[in-house]
Structure 1
Amino acid sequence: MKKKAFDWLYKGLFFIVAAILSGCSQASVDDGYTAGDLSGINHMADSGVNSFSVNGYGGAMTGNTCCIMLPEKWTPELKARIQWEVDPNPNVIFPPLGTDEFRKAYEQHRTKYQQHSAIINIPQYGKERCGLTVHFLACNQVKVTTACSGYGTSGYPIKDPLNMKEPATCPVK
């Protein structure tokens, strides 16, 4: 009986993984959209990005997250509506995990999280695009790219350095 239960479990997990992986392929969807990975890069030295989303699709700061839907053909009015949460002190040291002191300190720390949003243009792309990468910069600024090359390579369009310090005053938006 246990073997049958494990067979069903493995088959179920296989189909779930297959569905997730196929959902992030570059295959076209009937309505003219293509799925791609959604990832983020934090350029801020003193703040952490806890979470973010673009046009309602959730992204990840480590690795790629499946998926974001982008139109097969770029248009000038194509926008990225980005929402993100920042931890202004991600290196805080907490009391031991699981203690009442930890829970109290964490709740107090969490009240300092900041919510941000921006609507920015998605840069022009052609047939080659590899999902969307969001760059989180100082002064709550963001940039996006659909480039297939990786950050730091010569062909990558966003050149802002990592570990940016927040200036004493930020430019007025």
Structure 2
Amino acid sequence: MGVLFLSLAGCSLGESEYLGGNLNGVNHTSAAINYFKVNGYGGPNISPHGYGGGMCCVMLPREWRPGLMMKVEWEIDPDPYAKIKRKTTGYGFDEEAYAKHAANYQQHTASVPLPPYEEEGLCALEVHFFPCHQVKVTTSCWRYPSPNSPIREPLEMKEPAVCPK
């Protein structure tokens, strides 16, 4: 027991290289974000043209440095308002109808640069999802849709007929 205590105490010495921060998301698309992750840390689901967040925590480097990249993974439901057949008895959806709907879910991954932290320091990580499976992140202390937010694209964006390569 004493050895375990000593080894844990040894781990607590010094300052961690990483800080935990809130993970927020903004969905600028008409699809639902079923879930998203940043560097493996899970975020909330987000309704079409909506917000989700305040999820704890995502780990970010205490000190920002050039070249830092974030791996963002997410799943979308391209038809979030579909009418799915319900069970004839009990509660919930008909399993076959739900499986048919869920077969249209799409998974995406993107690597995006982590922008420099503001003078105030690291406030949170806010992930923005755009049409054509584009993603941006910000560490600004100004949350969207503040006019001071570095991301100013409109919340309700339409998916183009053809996405640029």
| Superposition TM-score, scaled by structure 1 size | 0.77
2:112 aligns with 120
Question: What stretches of structure 1 of length at least 5 have no aligned partner?
Answer: 1-28
1:151 aligns to 2:152 (yes or no): no
Q: Name the aligned partner's letter for residue 154 of structure 1.
A: P
C-alpha distance in 2 between matches for 1:100 and 1:90: 16
1:63 aligns with 53
SS of residue paired to 1:139 = helix
2:20 aligns with 35
CA shift, 1:154, in A, is: 1.6
Contact 2:22 2:53 in 1 (8 A): no
1:51 aligns with 35
Q: How does 1:133-148 map to 2 (within 5 A)?
A: 133-148=126-141
Q: Summarize the Cα distance change of 1:100–1:59 in structure 2 as closer, same or farther, 3 Å threshold.
A: closer
CA shift, 1:122, in A, is: 0.6
Higher relative strand content: 2
Q: Summarize the Cα distance change of 1:72–1:99 in structure 2 as closer, same or farther, 3 Å threshold.
A: closer
1:109 aligns with 101
CA shift, 1:150, in A, is: 1.8
Q: Summarize the Cα distance change of 1:160–1:100 in structure 2 as closer, same or farther, 3 Å threshold.
A: closer
Q: Name the aligned partner's letter for residue 37 of structure 1.
A: N
Contact 2:43 2:53 in 1 (8 A): no
2:73 aligns with 83
CA shift, 1:145, in A, is: 0.3
Q: Name the aligned partner's letter for residue 55 of structure 1.
A: N
Query: What number of residue pairs does the alignment pair up?
Result: 143
Root-mean-square deviation (CA), in Å?
1.8
C-alpha distance in 2 between matches for 1:88 and 1:80: 24
Identical aligned pairs, as a percentage?
45
C-alpha distance in 2 between matches for 1:43 and 1:73: 30
| Superposition TM-score, scaled by structure 2 size | 0.80
Q: Summarize the Cα distance change of 1:157–1:83 in structure 2 as closer, same or farther, 3 Å threshold.
A: same
C-alpha distance in 2 between matches for 1:161 and 1:82: 21
C-alpha distance in 1 between matches for 2:71 and 2:59: 13
C-alpha distance in 2 between matches for 1:105 and 1:99: 14
Q: Summarize the Cα distance change of 1:30–1:138 in structure 2 as closer, same or farther, 3 Å threshold.
A: same
Question: What stretches of structure 2 of length at least 5 have no aligned partner?
Answer: 1-13, 47-51
Deviations 1:79-101 (A, max 9, x none): 11000001110010112255697
